[in-house]
Amino acid sequence: QTIRLDDYRPTDYAIETVRLDLKLDPKRTQVTSTLSLAARDGTRGGTPLTLDGDALTFVFAELDGKPLSPDDYVATPDAFTLKRPPEGLFELTIGTETNPEGNSALMGLFRSSGTYCTQCEPEGFRRITYFLDRPDVLSVYTTRLEGPKDQVPVLLSNGNPIEEGELADGHHYAVWHDPYPKPSYLFAAVAGNLAHISDTFVTASGRTVDLRIYVEPGKEDRCHWAMDSLKRSMRWDEVRFGREYDLDIFMIVAVSDFNMGAMENKGLNVFNDKYILADPTTATDTDYAGIESVIAHEYFHNWTGDRITCRDWFQLCLKEGLTVFRDQEFTSDERSRPVKRISDVRTLKAHQFPEDAGPLAHPVRPQSYREINNFYTATVYEKGAEIVRMLATRLGEDGFRAGMDLYFERHDGEAATIEDFLACFAEATDTDLDTMLLWYNQAGTPTVTATSSWDAGSSTFTLKLTQNTPSTPGQSEKAPMPIPIRFGLVGPNGDDMEVERIEGAEAAADVLLLSEHEQTVVFHGIGARPVPSLLRGFSAPVRLEADTDTADLLFLLAHDSDPFNRWNAAQTLAMDHLKRSTEAIRRGDTLAADPEFIKALETVATDTGLEPAYRALALQLPAESDVFREIATDVDPAAVSKARTTLKGEIGSALAGTMRDLYDTLQDDGPYHPDPESTGRRALSACALDYLVAGGTDGAEELAKTHFDTARNMTDRLAALSTLAMNRLPSAEPALEDYAKMFEGDALAMDKWLSMQAMIPQPDTLDRVRELMDHPAFSIANPNRVRALIGAFATGNATGFHRADGAGYHFIANIVIELDPKNPQVAARLLAAFRSWRSLEEGRRTLARQELERVAERADLSRDSSDIVSRMLG
Ligand code: ARG
Ligand code: ZN
């Protein structure tokens, strides 16, 4: 069954309050829900009321305190219908039963290492009780939790605690009240034997908020970075967006079985423990940064998501795109803006661009769906954030803030739409933003071409721009979109040139707007031939094909004042080489790297005026998946892999001396701290070490082994291990064994060990992955373990997954089939690893198709997996 945006209409009934009573039991938790309901204006008297359910066991129903006769309702596992609701306000009480322990899908109420926990977004609440389970039904919740005190000493839900007490038989209870009306997907309950750390935060207006992070007893010491990140997030949202926290208490719970990263339930965020737990010996700099940004993301949802929610799930990007934008801005302000921008663009290109170019392409705001869980995608999140960023670019800091202020003021307490959101910016800044809606409605990555010429006689520089968005499933024709292009014209001395006047496009000082299919833009007062630096800061999520040649790119790499484009120049040069080298390899040839390019890299690597983190990014070659995407058709993954390994080796051996010096100067014996400076230093050191090893430098393997053995933090240890393993050196095996001994029993540290082995780029890695599935550190029931081992193999090991004999595809299809009945969401995600299968060369394409067809033919496939596989083959 397909749900369509155009079919939206409000519910006939509103649910004003919810009283939820949970009597916790591992297999038979009793849920009693009392809803106060009223027909909305315009609902005809007696219109039946149908509530959503999902696999529910019905127990009883009462209307206004009196038992209902079975003639008055129909209760099935998937729905409850009250045939003739009374007029006016009425109270419906329904009893259901659920089995948390048997809930392997991790949606609704489930258990994670003994802790009761919920996940309701998007449609999990209906697995707890019958409800109008959609985001535009906002209610005030009062939740009572009850259970045996020895097993569930801690009882938590949304809002503020209002009552607690002891009961007979060692039971106890707690009552929570959340005064803010919210949709059911933001409901949460947690119960278990949990420890916590606490702190306080004083808001801008002087209210003191109690902060708590709950975790398995014994892990409290690993929660302090998360708490620190939370306090910084709360302050930042006050300063940057004027948003204060609104309850007396803010709680976070870390659980080890969770499908996603985390969840923004009102006042009670639930986190995958991977995004909470950190200490220097078990977490890397990347983990610390990830924790900081996910904590920020979920906290920021309190305003963009909870106070203002979505009218329907088509508007998911309204909260997700905006909140990703906000967390990106937080990280940019807390750390380095250019470094953050570069890593976000890398993520966008690695995940969103391929999605947009393949069979799963969909608009940021889809027009229809069969399974909403399949739309928590890079397109909705990351491209959604890019659209918000384009608004900010076009409107400027003050204009953007004025639009946000109006949005918060006008829609607080509402379930809003993208149209509502855009209208706030249009009104606050008096700008026509109608065509911005195209960005939400059209799928596919636009290609922008730029050809330029300089005319000495008239001192003009002319830029011919075109845009083209490819057809995507269900959308063959695309209208031109408004594309903000931040630019500079770099003069012969390396500085940006003054522009007298711009003709042919709406333009501000350094941003021009491409709004037609084709536009010719003339810059006046340009007395020398400039090198255009276009799409600075990646000002729009497009593929840019500019006529800049190698000399221009080398010039930009040396001089561009925009750090993003400087980095991008290096990437473009590397990509050009990798594409040509891949072709050469397929012909049985080889292609040597351009010494000028290697020299330019060296200049950046050793420029101490640049941040180490930035220099590390500049030295990083495009990933194999980036090269796939650029080649686009008839891709031979083995040739791409060889091209990349070869280039890395050439750079490593050409710059051996430089890398050794870099490595030596970057070592530091001080105490570990995850601050941006030391993080950058460790990243650059790891990069230098990796080039030394890749270049086959004498003594490099020993150096890496020593780095591993003497490491005093996980970042250094893992970097050295990765270098040894990815370069397939003999010392990798004993180092992997040492690592396993060191971290035995530490699930998150062992996940890194599983991932690393899954990513070793050689065909027989598949056998290793199969063996590791029997290792005690692995469990198919835990999503983190599945992602660490199986997910890393499917998406992080092109050589293994794309084995020429199809064994990688066969293996992943088998896992999907095995996992699907237990946890459909995780199975469907894994299946999406095939999303670029149509771009493969013919042999692999045929093998991949066979596996997809084999999955598609399974009877009883979940809606999640069947939706993905049918779109993939469609
Ligand atoms: N709203 C959460 C976040 O972005 C993600 C929850 C997604 N859950 C799901 N079952 N698809 O922070
Ligand atoms: Zn989110």
- The pLDDT tens digits for 187-196 are 999 999 999 9
Give the model's pLDDT for residue 605.
96
Residues 784/785/789/795 CA torsion (nearest 10 deg): -20
Apex 757 CA angle, 751 and 758, nearest 5:
85
| Average pLDDT of span 18-37 | 98
Among the atoms of ligand 1, which is closest to the Cα of residue 124? 10
| Average pLDDT of span 258-266 | 98
Question: What tokens appear for 274 in the block?
Answer: 């991977």
The per-residue pLDDT for range 443-463, each reduced to its tens digit, is 999 999 999 999 999 999 999
Q: Which of 412, 202, 158 is nearest to 303 (CA)?
A: 412
Q: Which of 722, 758, 745 is nearest to 830 (CA)?
A: 758
Residue nearest to atom 6 of ligand 1 (CA): 263
| Residues with catalytic function | 298
Residue of 110, 120, 121 to test ligand 1 pocket, by largest number of atoms within 8 Å of CB: 121
The per-residue pLDDT for range 460-505, each reduced to its tens digit, is 999 999 999 999 999 999 999 999 999 999 999 999 999 999 999 9
Q: Which residues contact 21 (CB under 8 A, 6 or more apart)?
A: 30, 31, 32, 33, 34, 143, 144, 146
The CA distance from 791 to 774, in Å, is 16
Full-model pTM: 0.98
The CA distance from 323 to 382, in Å, is 10
Ligand lying closest to the C-alpha of residue 263: 1
Report whether 145 contacts 161 (CB < 8 A).
no
Report whether 631 contacts 643 (CB < 8 A).
no
The per-residue pLDDT for range 531-557, each reduced to its tens digit, is 999 999 999 999 999 999 999 999 999
Q: Where residue 814 falls among pLDDT bands split at 50, 70, 90?
A: very high
The CA distance from 801 to 822, in Å, is 23
Which residues surround ligand 1 with Cβ inside 6 Å? 121, 259-260, 262-264, 297-298, 320, 373, 376
Question: What tokens appear for 605 in the block?
Answer: 């690597």
Mapped to the 3 state alphabet, what secondary structure does 198-217 carry?
EEEEECCCCCEEEEEEEECC
User: Helix or strand or coil: residue 602?
Assistant: helix
Report whether 194 contacts 291 (CB < 8 A).
no
Ligand lying closest to the C-alpha of residue 304: 2
Residue 509 has pLDDT above 90, yes or no: no
Mapped to the 3 state alphabet, what secondary structure does 366-408 carry?
CCEECCHHHHCCHHHHHHHHHHHHHHHHHHHHHHHHHHHHHHH
Q: At what angle do helices 700-710 and 714-726 cross, to 10 degrees?
A: 150
H or E element in which residue 545 lies: strand 543-546
| Average pLDDT of span 794-816 | 97
Report whether 146 contacts 167 (CB < 8 A).
yes
Residue 681 has pLDDT above 90, yes or no: yes
Residue 291 alpha carbon to ligand 2 centre in Å: 14
Residue 316 alpha carbon to ligand 1 centre in Å: 10
The CA distance from 204 to 4, in Å, is 43
511-514/506-507 β-pairing: antiparallel
Mean pLDDT for the chain? 98
Ligand lying closest to the C-alpha of residue 326: 2
Residue 90 alpha carbon to ligand 2 centre in Å: 35
Residue of 103, 187, 260, 374 to test ligand 1 pocket, by largest number of atoms within 8 Å of CB: 260
Give the model's pLDDT for residue 873.
98
* Edge-to-edge strands, sheet with 501-503: 501-503, 518-524, 460-468, 447-455, 543-546
Q: Where residue 766 falls among pLDDT bands split at 50, 70, 90?
A: very high
The CA distance from 704 to 726, in Å, is 12
| Average pLDDT of span 2-23 | 98
Residue 344 has pLDDT above 90, yes or no: yes
Residue 833 alpha carbon to ligand 2 centre in Å: 22
Q: Which of 275, 285, 283, 278 is nearest to 252 (CA)?
A: 275
The CA distance from 187 to 126, in Å, is 11
Give the model's pLDDT for residue 139.
98
Q: Where residue 89 falls among pLDDT bands split at 50, 70, 90?
A: very high
Residue nearest to atom 5 of ligand 1 (CA): 263
| Average pLDDT of span 177-205 | 98
Report whether 528 contacts 479 (CB < 8 A).
no
Q: How many residues does the chain have?
A: 874
| Average pLDDT of span 743-759 | 98
Dihedral class, residue 49 (left if φ above 0, else alpha if ψ from -120 to 50, else beta): beta
